[in-house]
Amino acid sequence: MGCWQVKDKKVLLIMNTKIHFEPAKIDVLLQIAIEEDIFRGDITTENLIPDNLMVEGVFTAKESGTIAGLPVVACFFSKLDKNVFFKEWVKEGSLVHKGETIAIIHGSAKVLLSGERIALNLLQRLSGIATLTSQFVERIKPLKTSIMDTRKTIPGWRYLEKYAVAVGGGVNHRKGLYDQVLIKDNHLDIIKNKLFYDVPSHISIIEKAVSVVRQKIKKGVLIEVETRTLGEVTDALKSGVDIILFDNMDIQQLQDAVILVKEWKSGEGTRQPLTEASGNITLENVHLVAQTGVDRISVGAITHSAKALDISLEIT
């Protein structure tokens, strides 16, 4: 079968949330994977296996976890051979247990053998991210804080890795540097030490930076500022940003920062900014962080440190 598309999009209903999978966004990545592994052809398979041999393969979970990447595998095999039949045995985003069948595939033995490693690389990596994300999400229940990803992704894999985060119950942060303003400590340090903006004494560096950005960006683009101290949180509040990021603050600092934001008397017609915690977030401390009342927790580990889920493809 080919990639499952609805006007070039597959809409998956996962955990009561619509997640859009767009096959066109992974065309280049799949082509690179095919060129680096198969290239001119699978020299072993082509010289051992006859063209007309048809076989069936079974994807099996070798450990428990959350499955993500089934439509990706279907798209990949359809690029190798439009006549390959791929059938899910579990839904995308499902929790599976060791020994459970995930999917079956039927088609040319040559195609299945040549594509086995790439398919497993995709499915194992994405399922590992979804599994770790779901573990973070479970740790903070029933609190309403969102678990969010970061830009700490493998180059070329960002779309897929953020897709896997969403499948695991997480929320996607900005896609890249182009769709949301995030003024970080390095921006502020450069402005303070190198650019020498004419800043009145009663205006903070954060307020100046936000003012400069706001004059240049399109209306509706969110502005977020990274803060390290309560003083910087106050400056961010004065600047009227949309989101305040609390970077590497301990639990007491986070509690104080959240209270400061919630008690801030904003101007008429302005919204209270969202709050976000980041830095050294683990499965062991994420619940304590969520209990401080932050709206969001961004966790780089769910993409950069996720362990691949052990999945096999047995061809019969």
Amino acid at 8: D
Q: What is the CATH number of the domain that holds 311?
A: 3.90.1170.20
Assess whether 194 carries a catalytic annotation.
no
For residue 242, give every residue at least 6 positions away whose Cβ sits within 8 Å of its Cβ, in sequence order, or none: 222, 223, 224, 271, 273, 274
4: in domain: no
Q: How much is the pLDDT for 198?
A: 63
Q: How much is the pLDDT for 18?
A: 65
pLDDT digits (tens, 9 = 90+) for 189-246: 888 886 656 656 678 899 999 999 999 999 999 999 999 999 999 999 999 999 999 9
Of the residues 149, 226, 232, 235, only one is catalytic, namely 226
Of the residues 25, 151, 152, 238, only one is catalytic, namely 152
Q: What is the CATH number of the domain that holds 152?
A: 3.20.20.70
Assess whether 184 carries a catalytic annotation.
yes
Of the residues 117, 175, 262, 307, only one is catalytic, namely 117
Assess whether 218 carries a catalytic annotation.
no
Q: How much is the pLDDT for 191?
A: 85
E strand or H helix that includes residue 181 = strand 181-183
For residue 43, give every residue at least 6 positions away whose Cβ sits within 8 Å of its Cβ, in sequence order, or none: none
DSSP codes joined into one string, 25-58: GGHHHHHHHHHHHTTT--HHHHHHS-TT-EEEEE
Of the residues 63, 247, 256, 310, only one is catalytic, namely 247
Which structural domain range is residue 39 located in?
10-140+306-315
User: Does the N-terminal peptide bond of residue 155 adopt cis geometry, omega within 30 degrees of 0?
Assistant: no
Of the residues 184, 189, 250, 307, only one is catalytic, namely 184
Q: Domain check: are 94 and 220 in the same one?
A: no
Query: For the whole model, what pTM was predicted?
Result: 0.91
Assess whether 152 carries a catalytic annotation.
yes
Assess whether 37 carries a catalytic annotation.
no
Instruction: Answer for the pair 309, 124: CB distance below 8 angstroms, yes or no.
Output: yes
Instruction: Answer for the pair 261, 242: CB distance below 8 angstroms, yes or no.
Output: no
Strands (DSSP E) along 248-285, which ranges?
Answer: 274-278
